[in-house]
Amino acid sequence: MLYRKLGKTGQKVSILGFGCMRLPVTDGNPEHIDKKQANEMLHYSLDHGVNLFDTAYSYHAPSTTQSGQSEIWLGDTLKDCCREDVYISTKLPSWLIEKKEDLNYYLDKQLEKLQTDYIDFYHLHGLGQSTWPNLKSHDVLEFLDSALEDCKIRHAGFSFHDKLELFKEIVNSYNWDFSLIQYNYMDQDFQAGKEGLHYLAERNMGVITMEPLRGGCLTNNVPQDILAIWNKAETKRSLAEWALRFLWDQKEINVVLSGASTLEQVKENVKIAEEGFAGSLTCDEKNLMEEVREAYSERVHAMCTRCGYCMPCPVGVDIPLNLSLLNELYVYQNMEKPLGNYTFLTAEKESATFCTGCGECEEKCAQKLPIQKLLKEASDIFDKEMKKRK
């Protein structure tokens, strides 16, 4: 495993971080983590040098308003490890803060769930136009000072899903140690993006990136014309390796979080990380990746990462799956498979057909997508085709 220092913290962290957001489950219920598989994944990572494990208050919960099982599982799994050998990273549920007292309440709850006296890297989760002003009104920066002084947390940072201008404002507001941003070869001009990445590095803040594969969009069901571009490379690599090597090629990035769901994915990520040296890609390889990026940009319709922040829908619509079906239609130009899945969703009353246009999903969307418009488009296309085939 390769290691880099996490900005001004000076902590030596593995370039691959273990994300605990998409752990395997036993029956489709996010609360029912398959502990046998998940434990194998974590211990394989540990045995191969991964030392940073990232979770959050609401990971593996029915909704983002509830306490999830991810922190509990991680606490149980790491309790027999030497605490000084691992870094635990978790996040304050920013959207649940209604009063100043909530800040310490959730931190103490998380320490209890994780079975630890301190958290190495503590994030304000998902800062944006609504959460940031609310947290400031409840003196969140004073709370961080106090938590650091009391040694409940060792380093303070934030994760971010909003516009670059707000990102810079937040960076300049406090003596942060690090930040977690969404970044991959498709998202260089999205949210904080490349400019935000360099903005952090210039201030010696640690840089952690998430969504390296864009929720699997860059590795699953890849169109033939995109594969044809990759196949022009002199050195052949898997799609996951291309995506991860793009990130590690940049010296400004300290850690890449990958939320694997299988042991095979963990093994692949660990193997790729062995060659994740900064500046190791050739000019031809970088040009090839830019060609892929341009080709994708012409096809993708709804840039959804399936993070699930928009869920649950008040009327039961499976929003990420509906957007995925709409994308599938645009990417593959084939009605059959997405229509079959949409028909099933309609029978389960989970399709875009049942969207009431309440807008609650757009308020929670980390990607700031026009979800109502996209769901209406999906409904118009698929419902029309369903009627035509009856």
* Domain termination site, one of 247, 263, 297: 297
Q: How many CB atoms lie within 10 A of CB 104?
A: 14
Q: Whose structure tokens read 């999830």? A: 68
Domain that holds residue 46: 3-297
For residue 333, is pLDDT > 80?
no
**174 confidence band (pLDDT: 50, 70, 90):** very high
In a domain, 311, yes or no: no
CA distance 92 to 95: 9
* Domain termination site, one of 236, 264, 297: 297
Task: Tell whether 365 and 219 lie within a shared domain.
Answer: no
pLDDT in tens, 106-130: 999 999 999 999 999 999 999 998 8
For residue 155, is pLDDT > 90?
yes
In a domain, 101, yes or no: yes
Task: Tell whether 279 and 344 lie within a shared domain.
Answer: no
pTM: 0.83
CA distance 118 to 68: 19
The answer to whether 154 and 120 are in contact (CB under 8 A) is yes
State both tokens at 142.
Answer: 């004073």
CATH number for the domain including 277?
3.20.20.100
Task: Tell whether 164 and 264 lie within a shared domain.
Answer: yes
pLDDT of residue 184: 94
Q: How many CB atoms lie within 10 A of CB 263?
A: 17
pLDDT of residue 329: 87
pLDDT of residue 274: 97
Please give the tally of structural domains in the chain: 2
Query: How far, CA to CA in Å, does 332 sit from each of 226, 300, 336, 359?
Result: 11, 10, 10, 29
pLDDT of residue 227: 95
Would you give the end-to-end CA distance of the chain in angstroms? Answer: 57
In a domain, 325, yes or no: yes
Task: Tell whether 280 and 372 lie within a shared domain.
Answer: no
**171 confidence band (pLDDT: 50, 70, 90):** very high
Task: Tell whether 132 and 64 lie within a shared domain.
Answer: yes
pLDDT of residue 230: 97
The dihedrals phi and psi of 188, each to the nearest 5 degrees, come to -70, -25
Task: Tell whether 189 and 137 lie within a shared domain.
Answer: yes
Helix, strand, or coil (residue 27): coil
pLDDT of residue 296: 85
Task: Tell whether 66 and 215 lie within a shared domain.
Answer: yes
pLDDT in tens, 69-83: 999 999 999 998 999
Mean pLDDT for all residues in the chain: 94
CA distance 170 to 179: 10
The dihedrals phi and psi of 207, each to the nearest 5 degrees, come to -120, 115
Does a cis peptide bond (omega within 30 degrees of 0) precede residue 212? no
State both tokens at 79.
Answer: 């309790």
pLDDT of residue 328: 79
In a domain, 313, yes or no: no
Q: Whose structure tokens read 């994760």? A: 159
In a domain, 207, yes or no: yes
pLDDT of residue 216: 81
Burial label, 239 (beta-carbon count in 10 A; 0-12, 13-18, 19+)? middle
pLDDT in tens, 342-372: 998 998 899 999 999 999 999 999 888 999 9
Contacts of 31 (CB under 8 A, 6+ apart): 25, 60, 61, 62, 68, 69
**In whole angstroms, what separates CA 306 from the centre of its chain?**
9
In a domain, 307, yes or no: no
pLDDT in tens, 231-243: 999 999 999 999 9
In a domain, 310, yes or no: no
Q: Which of 9-18, 158-167, 201-210 has the lowest mean pLDDT?
A: 158-167
For residue 222, is pLDDT > 90?
no
Task: Tell whether 182 and 233 lie within a shared domain.
Answer: yes
**In whole angstroms, what separates CA 147 from the centre of its chain?**
25
**Angle at 211 (CA atoms; ends 187, 370), nearest 5 degrees:** 60
State both tokens at 300.
Answer: 């993708």
**308 confidence band (pLDDT: 50, 70, 90):** confident
Q: Which of 9-18, 82-91, 161-170, 303-312 has the lowest mean pLDDT?
A: 303-312
The answer to whether 184 and 211 are in contact (CB under 8 A) is yes
For residue 334, is pLDDT > 80?
no
Task: Tell whether 279 and 347 lie within a shared domain.
Answer: no
